[in-house]
Structures are given as structure tokens and as C-alpha cells.
Chains A and B, each alone.
Chain A
Amino acid sequence: MGELVRKYRVVVLGAGGVGKSALTVRFAQGRFVSDYNPTIEEEYACDVQAEGETCLLEIMDTAGAEQFTALNEVYIKRARGFVLVFSLTQESTLQDVDNIRQQIQMIKAQEGQSIPIVVVGTKMDLAREREVTRDTIKDLAARWGLPFYETSAKNNWHVTDVFHDLLGQMRRRYPDEPLKKRKEKTKSRNRIDRCIIM
């Protein structure tokens, strides 16, 4: 109650239809969205434990459709951490990840080297349709110097790893994110905002 937590803004970017929302909703709400309904913009907030401390992740799920990519710059400027998503079943979506990666580095150039980024391959369960090989991923991970995760939102494979890795990176990179009072869903009548800050 009235507990102070550190808040980190994350944005999920990637081509249309790769499964950004499926990944985000699986993590934030623990369920799998099977039908495809293109996102415009959706924000999720969830508590994540890191080294015994509760953090608030504000995850912005974005539109992958080409017509909306002009907004990416706005999202990138506001966020601390980035989840770049491609589909393991569609090799061309790696190109979008590369473009976004370069855009982030351009926009965040003055923040120095280590920008918290995680690259995520989705639809790992669709093994037969897989186009992106392990070798390709190893090669890119080394070239870009970024962690890669292969996931399945459907089977809940490695989804939490993605966000925990990113949170760890953000905590190291921005240890001074301000403490925020967590938004409370239900207001209790007798709640007293005590002087928590000492």
C-alpha cells in the first residue's frame, strides 16, 4: 500500500504480425491471444521482481504496420528499454529489427554505449515453418552485441526471460530511475499516504 517502486518504460517494436502483442500480453497478463487483431498502441503495466525489489514495468505495445512506423521515433525517445521482435518463421522480419536497432542507436546516441535492448524471435513452437536458423541468430547476436531469445507466447517459452533480462539491463544502466507510487486499482477509503520517504 502506497509502496514506492522504480518505474521503467519499455517499448516493444518490430514488423507487423510477428507477435509483439502476443508476447506482451503473455507476459503482462499471462494469457495467449490467438487471433490476430493489429495493434495501434496499447500500454500495459506490471510489477516485476528483480533482486528482491519490486519494479514497475510500463510496456508500450506498438503498431508494426508500416503506416505507423513514423511514430517509432516518439516511442524510442520516451523509453528506457527495447524489445525488438521478429518472427522465427519469417526471415525478412529480421531486417525490420536491424532498421529499428539502428534508429535507436541514432536517437539515443548521446546516452552512450549500452542501451538496454533484447532481441526476440517468436513463434518458436511452429518448428516446421521456421526460417531463421540458429546459426543466423548466433551470427547476428555476435555482430550486434545483443542478447537474443527464442520464444513462444503460445507455450509460454522463455517469455519472462526476455523481460527479466531487459529489466536487469535497465537497472544497471539507469540505477536512479525515480521512485513512483504504484497506481492502485482499488482505492481503500481509510488509506493514508504515510511519509514513506526517509
Chain B
Amino acid sequence: MSTSAGRKKSIISTSGGPVIDIPVANNTLLNKAASQSTSLYQQCSALRARLMRVEGFPPYFALSASSDAPSARRSTDPVTQLWDCFALGVPLCFLLNLLPPPIQNVAVQTTDFDPTNEKTRKRAIAQFAMGVRQIDGCPSFTVTDLWDRSSTDGFVKVVNIVSLVVDNIPDDFFIESPPSSPPTEFSAKDSSDSLPTEISEGPSDKYPGSNVTKELLYTERKYVQDLETMQSYSNTLAQSNTIDLDTIHLLFPNLNKLLNFQRRFLIKLESINELPWQERRWGSAFTEFEEEFAVYESYCANYTNASDILMHEEHHLMALDGMLNVKSELPAFLIKPVQRDAEP
């Protein structure tokens, strides 16, 4: 990726015709708008909507929501709902078994199972984890990825895998949308596209401060995506064997924990945003997570050090310029958490 893409001075054109030099915004990751598809909350919300239309699936949501299930939590945001539901294991197998041949069904009893039995649930998760390996290009995961609630990284993987499975479910298994909702021209598979892709902006949403909160939510989404970009950069760097892992850790101090916290914080903001505006208590997100903001301390404290490492390792990092340019992009990413934290 060339960094000067937007400032091209070249008048040499492969087509031979005259080229008019029009200024173009740099199409870099830095300038890219937050896309809906990669926010965990939005992804879960879309996936939940699709799953509600898979024939026979909705009862599993009810099952995981019933209070006697061990994982019953207070929150009803789509992330928690999907997590609780998937952690039952059996619903995952149910979905996999809807896939057409050559995908082989997994032998799991999908009705009348005991949702409180840990072994039953884990066995079903393991069966699903093995079953999805039949799907070309499907990433792998382990039971712990879904079972361990302390990190969202594993769950992000599972959501992607389940989305992939649902993509492959034949249309016949999707029931029509309830008549109350507007008719959709999309096929069942595209149903996620019909979800609002912008922050809702109806006339009822014009209330005092709406622009401020919209800005907050929008920039938080973008910020989480930027952190995800940094994480995948850091992972790629680790695999490239150009820099030792300790140095990578110093370059992105505490990044995984930071991302994990920000994901959960964003989920909270998103769920506040779903409420009628009179009930939105934005401050509660900050008071609830107050202590966790401490993850910023070590990031900020080590930022100067990270910048030094960046300069020192520049020649090594150049190998990954295709992902993030070491001169023009990476420094801007590195300072993002510091900037975000400093905002009033």
C-alpha cells in the first residue's frame, strides 16, 4: 500500500489518456469510517436477528435466558444473550445439523437435554468445534474459547464461525419475518443487511444532546476497530519472526487487555443506546467501568517507551508496511489510546 496514494503527482497513465489530478482523501485505515460489521455488538445483534428466523432455533434463546441456567446474567444485550445461548453447546449443533451434505451431522441430542449439565454442554461444544472443521476455510476454536468468560477474544472467534455456519444454512430453514415488520426484498441470508446500519436517526431521536451521544458512540466504535487493527498488526508481527515477542509486547503495552475492556465498554454503550432516549443513562457506563479504566495507566505510562521502540525497530517494521505504514500510520495508531483517554 502506498502512502502517497492520495497525493499522486504522476501524470503517467496506463491508458495513455490525460489524467486530471483530483485530490482524493487518503484511503488508509486511519481515515476509514467505522464499519458496522466488525463491532461485536452489531455483529451479535445481526446474528441474533438471523437466528430468530431460523426455524426451531428461538426456543434455545428462551432456554438460556431461563434463570436456572448456570450462566444467567442480569444483562440482556445481544452479546451476552448469544454467549449464554452458544455456551449451551447444543444450539450450535442444531445449527450445524441444518447444513446440507456433504457436511455430516453431529450426533447430539438437540432436544430434551439438560442445560445445567456442564458435561453435556461441553461435549456439544466440542462436537460443534469438530463439526465445523468440515467447512472450508472455517477457523478453528476450542471449548475454552467459548467457555472462558474472562476474555472476548475467543467469543469473537465463535461469533464469526457461527455467522459462517448460518450463511450456509439453506433458505428453506428460515421462516418469513413476522408480518408486523416491513416486507423485505432480501433473501434470508441477507437479512443482516436490512438492519439499521447507521445509528438510528429518526425524528424521535432528535432530543437534546443527541449529537453528542451519537458522536460518542460512533467514535467508540471506530476506536475499538482501530484497537483491533493494532491487535492484528501485533499478531502478524509476532508471526513474522522479525522482532522478538518481548519487544512487541513493549510496543503495544497491555493492548489485549485494553481491547477487551473497550469491547465490553462499547457493548454497554450500545445497549444504552437501544433504550428510549429518556431512559438512556450514559453516565452509568462510566461509573460501572470506572475501575477498569485503570488499564490505561500502563499503556500511557509506557507510551514514550513504545515510541522509542518504534523508531528503533523501524527498519524491521517496514516489512509490514502493507498493513500499517511504519512512518505515516503506525505512530498515529500507537497514540490513539492516549488520545482517547485524554478526551474530556
Contact = CB atoms under 8 A, between A and B. Distances in A.
B248 interface: yes
A1 B166 CA distance: 44
Q: Which 5 A-B pairs have the closest CB atoms?
A: A195-B301, A40-B122, A41-B143, A178-B245, A70-B130
B133 interface: yes
Contacts of A192: 294, 297
Interface of A: 37, 40-41, 43, 60, 63, 68, 70-71, 73-75, 77-78, 176-179, 181, 183, 187, 189, 191-197
B254 interface: yes
Contact of B126 (A41, A60, A78, A196): A41
**Most central of A41, A179, A196 by chain B CB within 10 Å:** A41
A41 B129 CA distance: 12
Contact of A195 (B119, B248, B295, B302): B302
Contacts of A194: 297-298, 301
Given A40-B123, A70-B130, A75 B142 contact: yes
B148 interface: yes
Nearest to B243: A176
**Most central of A73, A192, A195 by chain B CB within 10 Å:** A195
A70 B133 contact: yes
A41 B150 contact: no
B337 interface: no
B208 to A, nearest CB: 36
B140 interface: yes
Contacts of A181: 254, 257
Contacts of B254: 181, 193
Interface in B125-151: 125-126, 129-130, 133, 140-144, 147-148, 150
Interface in B142-193: 142-144, 147-148, 150
Nearest to B248: A178
